[in-house]
């Protein structure tokens, strides 16, 4: 299933400005302010397209232990100006600023709300660290928050991972005989393979090649009761986990190959191949094959396939046609108990 992933970003457009307000003759200016009820006012500075000033408020506005410092918008704006600010005192010796107040974003110039104030402890502001030679430096950082910007939606690049080609590589290993260390003689043909691969895929091969059952010597290992084509298909599955192409076989020959592969899979305990063969035989049951398949299932402990064959006979009402097939005659001779089981179930089904 194809899955796409896209991204977009929403961010506020902001403009930041810093103004440093130097107050020379601080005590004298405070005295003037107290006498005339006036604040100490900075020069105008512009941030975000708006003019601002700083005010060190007169004593009449002060608290006994705090001095107010304000940021004021010079002109009212109908929609207001959204802004935040930070006040910092500058160390006269090092020139390094120290934050003494932060104001969260607020609206200036709306409903006559033109200013915001930070209250600074007098003991801090007038300490020798920040007030030297009767001079004071206050730094104000103003951040004007403008429109919200949303980026265009973009698709993230996709990295396509090809399907696994491990089976192809192992199949090539089998075809080229590279590193092969075991040879099998099957009928009139010989097959080269790799012990470690066979042992990994089959506990029977593992016991034969590495366990107490292993054959001594370097000669070919003779495999009896298995046709060369079947053994070739078995090796193909062991290396690639898939069946070889069987499209060139006629339907009957195809089914016969699958039956032989099931027997080989059972012999070498390759359970996945055994299940694949059972699945194919189950899906291709008919009157001519069901008895043969039932006998095969009984002989190789394929309980689900065996049950499927009996259900096919029971539910398809094919018993009369089945009795005339050679497969049934062979089944009756070799597996009488299975025949009795099928007949018993058929009888119960018909009575019901």
Q: Is residue 251 part of a domain?
A: no
CATH code: domain of residue 40: 2.60.210.10
CA distance 18 to 5: 41
pLDDT digits (tens, 9 = 90+) for 66-95: 889 999 999 988 888 999 999 999 998 999
- Listed residues 148, 176, 205: the one ending a domain: 148
Structure tokens at 136: 């004071």
Q: Is residue 54 part of a domain?
A: yes
- Residue 239, Cβ density class (10 Å: 0-12 exposed, 13-18 middle, ≥19 buried): buried
174 and 100 in a single domain? The answer is: no
Q: Is residue 81 part of a domain?
A: yes
300 and 202 in a single domain? The answer is: no
42 and 106 in a single domain? The answer is: yes
Share above pLDDT 70 across residues of the chain, in percent, rounded to a whole number: 86
pLDDT digits (tens, 9 = 90+) for 298-352: 899 999 998 898 888 877 666 666 666 776 677 667 766 666 666 655 555 554 4
Instruction: Say which range, 4-8, 294-298, 330-334, has the weakest mean pLDDT.
Output: 330-334
126 and 203 in a single domain? The answer is: no
CATH code: domain of residue 227: 3.30.710.10
CA atoms within 13 A on the CB side of 145: 13
70 and 138 in a single domain? The answer is: yes
Q: How confident is the model at residue 1 (pLDDT cuts 50, 70, 90)?
A: low
- Listed residues 85, 113, 148: the one ending a domain: 148
pLDDT digits (tens, 9 = 90+) for 14-70: 999 999 999 999 988 888 877 677 889 999 999 999 999 999 986 666 677 888 999
116 and 184 in a single domain? The answer is: no
SS3 content of the chain, % helix, strand, coil (to 5): 40, 30, 30
128 and 223 in a single domain? The answer is: no
17 and 131 in a single domain? The answer is: yes
79 and 129 in a single domain? The answer is: yes
CATH code: domain of residue 352: 1.25.40.420
Please report the pLDDT score of residue 352 as a whole number: 47
Which ranges of the chain would DSSP assign to H, the alpha helix? 26-36, 122-125, 166-176, 195-201, 203-210, 228-240, 251-267, 271-283, 290-299, 303-316, 319-322, 326-334, 336-351
Please report the pLDDT score of residue 138 as a whole number: 96
Q: Is residue 252 part of a domain?
A: no
63 and 99 in a single domain? The answer is: yes
124 and 210 in a single domain? The answer is: no
* Element spanning 84, H or E: strand 81-90
Q: Is residue 158 part of a domain?
A: no
Q: Is residue 2 part of a domain?
A: no
295 and 226 in a single domain? The answer is: no
Query: Structurally, how many domains does the chain consist of?
Result: 3
- Listed residues 148, 182, 197: the one ending a domain: 148
Q: Is residue 276 part of a domain?
A: no
Q: Is residue 279 part of a domain?
A: no
- Domain with 330, as residue range(s), is 285-352
């Amino acid at each position: 299933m194809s899955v796409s992933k896209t991204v977009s970003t929403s961010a506020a457009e902001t403009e930041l400005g810093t103004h440093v307000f130097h107050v020379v003759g601080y005590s004298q200016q405070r005295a003037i302010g107290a006498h005339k009820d006036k604040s100490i006012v900075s020069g105008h500075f512009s941030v975000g397209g708006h003019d601002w000033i700083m005010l060190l408020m007169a004593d009449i506005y002060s608290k006994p232990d705090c001095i107010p410092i304000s940021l004021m918008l010079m002109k009212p704006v109908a929609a207001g100006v959204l802004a935040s600010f930070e006040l910092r005192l500058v160390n006269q010796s090092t020139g390094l600023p120290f934050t003494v107040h932060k104001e969260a974003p607020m609206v200036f110039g709306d409903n006559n709300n033109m200013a915001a104030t930070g209250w600074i402890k007098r003991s801090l502001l007038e300490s020798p660290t920040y007030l030297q030679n009767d001079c004071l430096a206050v730094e104000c950082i103003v951040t004007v928050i403008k429109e919200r910007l949303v980026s265009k939606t973009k698709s993230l690049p996709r990295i396509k991972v090809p399907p696994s080609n491990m089976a192809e590589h192992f199949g090539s290993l089998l075809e080229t005989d590279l590193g092969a260390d075991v040879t099998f003689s099957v009928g009139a043909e010989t097959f080269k393979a790799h012990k470690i691969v066979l042992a990994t895929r089959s506990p029977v091969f593992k016991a034969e090649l590495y366990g107490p059952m292993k054959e001594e010597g370097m000669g070919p290992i003779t495999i009896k009761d298995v046709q060369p084509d079947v053994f070739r298909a078995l090796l193909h599955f062991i290396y690639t986990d898939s069946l070889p192409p069987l499209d060139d076989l006629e339907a009957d020959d195809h089914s016969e190959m699958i039956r032989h592969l099931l027997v080989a899979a059972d012999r070498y305990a390759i359970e996945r191949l055994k299940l694949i063969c059972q699945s194919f035989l189950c899906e291709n049951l008919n009157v001519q094959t069901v008895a043969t398949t039932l006998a095969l299932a009984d002989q190789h402990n394929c309980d689900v396939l065996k049950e499927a064959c009996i259900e096919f006979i029971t539910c398809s009402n094919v018993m009369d046609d089945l009795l005339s097939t050679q497969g049934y005659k062979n089944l009756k001779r070799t597996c009488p108990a299975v025949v009795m089981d099928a007949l018993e179930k058929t009888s119960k089904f018909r009575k019901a």
